[in-house]
Structure 1
Amino acid sequence: MYQPIPGFAHLKLYRAPDEVRYERVPAAADIIARDSIRELVTIAVEVAAGLRPLQHLRRDHFDEAIGLHLRLWKKAHGIDSGAASGELLSLHARSHGEYFGSARIAHRRHAFTGSATNGKLLTFRLL
Structure 2
Amino acid sequence: MALKEYLGAIVLEVDGQEYEVESVDISHKSGRKLVKTMNRTGRASGYSEGVHEFSLRVTAPVPKEGAPDWDNIVGAKLTIYPVSAGGRRESYLDCVSMEDSRKYSVDNEAKVDVTLAALDRIEE
Q: What TM-score range do you get, normalising by the shorter chain?
A: under 0.3
Give me the TM-score of the superposition, normalised by structure 2: 0.27
State TM-score, norm by structure 1: 0.27
Larger Rg: 1
Larger strand share, 1 or 2: 2
Give the helix-richer structure, 1 or 2: 1
